[in-house]
Amino acid sequence: MSLAITKINPAFVDVMPQEYLDLASDGPFAADKSVKDLGTFKELIEEHPLCAGCNLALAFRTLISALPCPEDTVIVGSTGCNSLAFPQLAIHNVHALFGNQNAVASGLKRGLKLRFPDQNKDVVVMAGDGATADIGFDMTMHSWIRGENITTVMFDNEIYANTGGQESGMTPFGTVRNMAPTGKNFQKMNVPEFAKQAGCVYVAKVSTANTAKIGQCFRNAVLAAREIGPTYIQIYTPCPTNLKMKPAESVALAKKRAKEDYAFEEYMSEEVENLLVSSGAIKPKVKKEEGKK
């Protein structure tokens, strides 16, 4: 049933736009594509109106390419720069009111479980740091506390990029931004730690310095959310426009931060580790010290 919707009715093949013919013949459906295959298949997201050098766009493309089951996935987005890319995305996606994304995703996941009890339907939230950690923080935390089977991805550009550069809870201490001229005077929120405390069974902190890592962690997170409980991925995605840097410099910044305070961190519960090992997604004993309690 699910794959049937990726096949074109023979009566209409001659009138389908090329894009859809390519998606049907060379897309990622049931093809188990991953980040390393980028450039060799028809992607679900191609054009987008985000700025040149936008690391959020880079992360978005990476994440979409790593979806374990794109034909059975619904992505919930929220207001912010990321929402500008969603209209081009060739799989189901919902734009939630700013901040409501985890509540919308919770309801959606529950509805899908009722409607398709024998099928996997992955629900993934992808939203900015403002949506996840500030205005939607209540929704984010409570979806975790309730143990919803959803994955939450935060695009952490440490700023409200879409509205011109206000500070967010994720902006580091002391940072001056376009619309935060006196510098931030409290700490960056430690959302990965909150996630663990609130019951996320898999948590990863990654950056665009390593896109392969983003893909692996995201896949792990989606599989764990499907079987076990809420999962969280936080991706550092610097915004060249607000930081007033050349597009080409933005990944260098991500690499620099990855050596400083944005180093890769991964936590998984024992249950998740067993699941991922038994499904072949990871090799045994990959647990970082983060994971040990």
Partner 1 sequence: MGAYQVLQGPEGYLPPAAAMQGVTLAGPGKAMIEGRHVEKQEAIECIAEKLLGATVPTFFPGPLVLWRTTDYAQERGKLIREISAEVGAKVIPMPDYRPKYPMINPEVEINPNHPNLTIWFNKIDVGVFIGVHCHQANLALKIIRGGTSCFTVALCAEEGHEEANVSLRETDNDTLRKLLATVKDLKKRRA
Ligand X SMILES: Cc1ncc(C[n+]2csc(CCOP(=O)(O)OP(=O)(O)O)c2C)c(N)n1
Residue with smaller CB distance to Mg ion, 161 or 203 = 161
Site string for ligand X, 142-171 (x = CB under 6 A): -------------x-x-xxxxx----x---
Residue of the chain from 43, 129, 134, 266 that contacts Mg ion (CB under 5 A): 129
Q: Does 128 engage in binding with Mg ion (CB under 5 A)?
A: yes
Our finding on whether 171 is near Mg ion (CB under 5 A) is no
Interface ranges with partner 1 (CB under 8 A): 4-12, 15-17, 20, 49, 84, 87-90
Instruction: Closer to Mg ion by CB, 80 or 215: give it.
Output: 80
Minimal distance in Å, beta carbon 16 to partner 1?
6
- Return the number of the residue (45 or 243) whose C-beta is nearest partner 1: 45
Would you state the structure tokens that stand for residue 175, as one six-digit string?
């940072």
Residue placing its CB nearer to partner 1 in the complex, 20 or 194: 20
- In angstroms, the CA 178 to CA 239 distance is 13
SS3 of 137-174:
HHHHHHHHHCCCCCEEEEEECCCECCCCCECCCCCCCC
- Give yes or no for a contact between 122 and 73, defined as CB atoms under 8 angstroms apart: yes
- Helix 250-259 / helix 55-65 crossing angle, nearest 10 deg: 80
- Would you count residue 128 as binding ligand X (CB under 6 A)? yes
The pair of structure tokens assigned to 230 is 């809420």
Residue 132: helix, strand or coil by DSSP?
A: helix
Contact footprint for Mg ion (CB under 5 A): 128-129, 157, 161
